């Protein structure tokens, strides 16, 4: 996998790349992640879920992805026509009302501000400290993205924080640091192991955040929602980054003819019983009897079992739940392995119990090639290594063809959100929201293994927010792959979008297209380099027929556009073009041509604004890299 490769950037030998990740843990009450993420059991505290008629009010909201620049205490408004259409309102803590400390913008890796949405947050230090918001719409659920301290010896602590609605205590929300806090940042950034240390004695911490969620009863539009440090809040301090409020509908009914993992196979919800065998029994029966499998409301525990190393075995199975907020499979065994075709999953949450990245344990939410005819709809994935590493240990059913991942939420992973690897073709991720992935949020990797080449895949109308390692979106080789109509927000160590890169990959074929994307506060530092928001990086193979158009790059941490070639292999950026690209307020240059970049790039209607160091930095020798200037360029 990519994270086992040896790189040599700037003359430094390093081992790394975007790759897999591990599970996180849940709080006792469950919950993490944005509007539908949860680390385990879902807590309900008063009030009933709304009816379908109530939930239909959500349709009146404009589409969008994760938050863009907050304005006052209201929800953040995403760009029109780009990113995922989401069912919740996201409120930035620093835009709310508070009597506590507002943490200001910082981009330095290893600071909590750099890992915060908008690079700002609110810190509560004393009893009575709070941050509050005015609910723009009716809701009945809350997600809080927060950080609390680690224990002195590592491993985390548990606590609670008060949730008030109109000055009345509604819920004590469980929070934990068991899924956060890694150490030895410099080693990890500069070629150390992809398995970061969880030992506080190593110093230089990073990966500070987690999330918790709960159903808390009716929150009327216009109500004041307050997050407050109470006497019962036992952590030394609480950093609040953002809050999501959502109107969650009632649980879905059991479909006709479906086997129930409870009534037909003996699983028991909301207790400590291991339900792994019951779930696998139902899947086996469903396949034999051509019946779907139903996951009722509740949390079903499952621990790792060697017989299910890759996950629950599925082939020609349909698995449905009562909804992301209602049906949860949780534990170290919470993973599925599609070893055939027509693996169809919908409407449940899958929360692992991984706390550190370890690519050898296969603790991904979903594994296998998915064959043909498979899909995931409305699945909430958290605390696993990778949401779905597509094609891992592909069985004889061949490479993935036509996989659809739609309307999902992938949160707090230790590696990629989704990686289309090992010949995955004709597949898509659409209208999915990803937050705090530990590697590429979405990637196509046409790995140089024998067999099919990744072809005709697309990531469109997705929002990737706060990846704490690697890119929001990436394409490493293959033919006719596309990144379209997405939003990327707040990368920490890598670009927002990267085409090519230092990983073995098949040649680029057909046209690789990047169109109608927004990159906000993208770029970062890793492996001794300051990376731009949008990067073309030739390695082993030429970047051929790369078409980039209609991209808005706002407030990049270093450069807007970044061009690089691998120093020793002779690869080039060839037959690449950009048009209608706007770069606003980079902290360095608008366009950076590195000294090792080779090839040529055609630029038309590329506009750079407010670049303090200048519009263009060209470091290479004359003739090694050529920019062909078309019409409409400004600022460089």
| Vertex 70: Cα angle to 69 and 72 (nearest 5) | 145
Q: How far is CA 348 from CA 141, 286, 342, 464, in A?
A: 16, 18, 18, 21
CA dihedral (145, 83, 532, 69) positive or negative: negative
Quote the pLDDT of residue 79: 79
Q: What is the pLDDT of residues 492-518, one digit of tens each?
A: 999 999 999 988 999 999 999 999 999
* Higher pLDDT, residue 354 or 603: 603
* Higher pLDDT, residue 497 or 370: 497
Q: What is the pLDDT of residues 424-459, one digit of tens each?
A: 999 999 999 999 999 999 999 999 877 789 999 999
> What's the chain's average pLDDT?
88
pLDDT-derived band at 395, boundaries 50, 70, 90: low
Quote the pLDDT of residue 42: 37
Q: Do 188 and 204 contact (CB within 8 A), yes or no?
A: no
pLDDT-derived band at 16, boundaries 50, 70, 90: very low
CA dist 514 and 99 (Å) reads: 44
Quote the pLDDT of residue 394: 58
Listed by start position, the domains of the chain span 88-246
Q: How far is CA 91 from CA 45, 407, 602, in A?
A: 22, 21, 40
Quote the pLDDT of residue 193: 65
Q: Do 25 and 383 contact (CB within 8 A), yes or no?
A: yes
Instruction: Count CB atoms within 10 A of the CB of residue 520.
Output: 25
Quote the pLDDT of residue 393: 57
CATH number belonging to the domain at 88-246, selected among 3.90.1310.10, 3.40.225.10, 3.40.50.300, 2.60.120.260? 2.60.120.260
Query: 119 in helix, strand or coil?
Result: helix
Assess whether pLDDT exceeds 90 at residue 140.
Answer: yes
pTM, two decimals, is 0.89
Q: What is the pLDDT of residues 51-63, one digit of tens each?
A: 333 333 333 333 3
Residue count of the chain: 636
Q: Do 300 and 316 contact (CB within 8 A), yes or no?
A: no
Assess whether pLDDT exceeds 50 at residue 581.
Answer: yes
Nearest CA among 541, 572, 576, 571 for reference residue 561: 576
Q: What is the pLDDT of residues 281-303, one digit of tens each?
A: 999 999 999 999 999 999 999 99
Quote the pLDDT of residue 396: 62
Assess whether pLDDT exceeds 70 at residue 527.
Answer: yes
Quote the pLDDT of residue 525: 94
Q: Do 20 and 364 contact (CB within 8 A), yes or no?
A: yes
Q: Do 589 and 563 contact (CB within 8 A), yes or no?
A: no
Average pLDDT over residues 196-204: 93
Structural tokens at position 404: 């659809």
């Amino acid at each position: 996998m990519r994270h086992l490769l040896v790189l040599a950037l700037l003359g430094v030998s390093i081992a790394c790349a975007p790759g897999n990740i591990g599970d996180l843990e849940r709080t006792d009450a469950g919950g993490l992640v944005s509007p539908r993420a949860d680390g385990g059991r879902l807590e309900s505290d008063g009030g009933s879920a709304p009816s379908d008629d109530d939930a239909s009010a959500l349709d009146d909201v404009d589409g969008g992805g994760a938050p863009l620049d907050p304005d006052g205490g209201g929800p953040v408004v995403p760009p029109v026509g780009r990113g995922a259409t989401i069912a919740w309102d996201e409120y930035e803590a620093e835009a709310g009302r508070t009597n506590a400390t507002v943490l200001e913008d910082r981009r330095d890796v290893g600071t909590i501000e750099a890992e915060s949405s908008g690079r700002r947050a609110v810190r509560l230090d004393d009893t009575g400290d709070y941050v509050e918001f005015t609910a723009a719409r009716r809701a009945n659920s809350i997600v809080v993205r927060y950080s609390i301290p680690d224990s002195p010896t590592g491993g985390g602590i548990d606590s609670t924080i008060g949730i008030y609605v109109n000055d009345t205590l509604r819920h004590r929300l469980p929070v934990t640091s068991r899924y956060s806090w890694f150490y030895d940042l410099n080693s990890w950034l500069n070629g150390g192991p992809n398995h970061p240390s969880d030992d506080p004695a190593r110093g230089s911490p990073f990966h500070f955040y987690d999330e918790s969620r709960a159903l808390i009863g009716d929150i009327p539009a216009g109500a004041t929602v307050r997050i407050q440090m109470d006497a019962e809040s036992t952590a030394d301090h609480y950093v609040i980054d953002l809050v999501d409020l959502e109107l969650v509908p009632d649980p879905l009914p059991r479909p006709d003819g479906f086997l129930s993992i409870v009534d037909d196979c003996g699983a028991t919800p909301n207790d400590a019983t291991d339900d792994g065998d019951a779930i696998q029994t139902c899947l086996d029966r469903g396949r034999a009897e051509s019946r779907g499998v139903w996951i009722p409301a509740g949390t079903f525990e499952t621990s790792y079992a060697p017989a299910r190393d890759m996950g629950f075995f599925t082939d020609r199975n349909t698995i449905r739940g009562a909804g992301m907020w209602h049906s949860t499979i949780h534990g170290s065994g919470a993973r599925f392995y599609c070893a055939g075709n027509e693996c169809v999953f919908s409407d449940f949450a899958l929360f692992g119990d991984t706390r550190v990245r370890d690519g050898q344990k296969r603790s991904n939410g979903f594994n296998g090639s998915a064959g043909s005819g498979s899909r995931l709809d409305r699945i909430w994935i958290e605390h696993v290594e990778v949401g779905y590493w597509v094609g891992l240990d592909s069985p004889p059913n061949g490479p993935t063809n036509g996989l659809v991942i739609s309307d999902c939420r992938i949160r707090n992973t230790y590696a990629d959100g989704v990686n289309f690897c090992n010949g995955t073709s004709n597949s898509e991720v659409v209208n999915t929201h990803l937050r705090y992935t530990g590697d590429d949020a979405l990637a196509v990797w046409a790995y140089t293994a024998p067999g099919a080449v990744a072809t005709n895949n697309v990531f469109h109308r997705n929002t990737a927010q706060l990846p704490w390692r690697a890119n929001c979106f990436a394409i490493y080789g293959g033919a006719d792959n596309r990144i379209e109509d997405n939003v990327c927000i707040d990368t920490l160590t890598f670009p927002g979008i990267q085409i090519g890169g230092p990983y073995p990959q098949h040649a680029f074929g057909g046209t690789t297209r990047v169109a109608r994307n927004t990159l906000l506060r993208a770029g970062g530092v890793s492996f001794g380099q300051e990376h731009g928001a949008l990067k073309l990086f030739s390695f082993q193979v030429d970047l051929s027929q790369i078409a980039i158009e209609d991209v808005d790059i706002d407030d990049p941490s270093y450069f807007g556009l970044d061009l690089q070639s691998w120093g020793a292999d002779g690869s080039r950026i060839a037959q690449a073009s950009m048009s209608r690209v706007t770069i606003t307020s980079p902290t360095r240059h608008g366009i950076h041509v590195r000294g090792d970049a080779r090839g040529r790039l055609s630029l038309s209607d590329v506009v750079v604004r407010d670049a303090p160091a200048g519009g263009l930095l060209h470091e290479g020798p004359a003739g090694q890299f050529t920019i062909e200037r078309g019409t409409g360029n400004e600022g460089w």
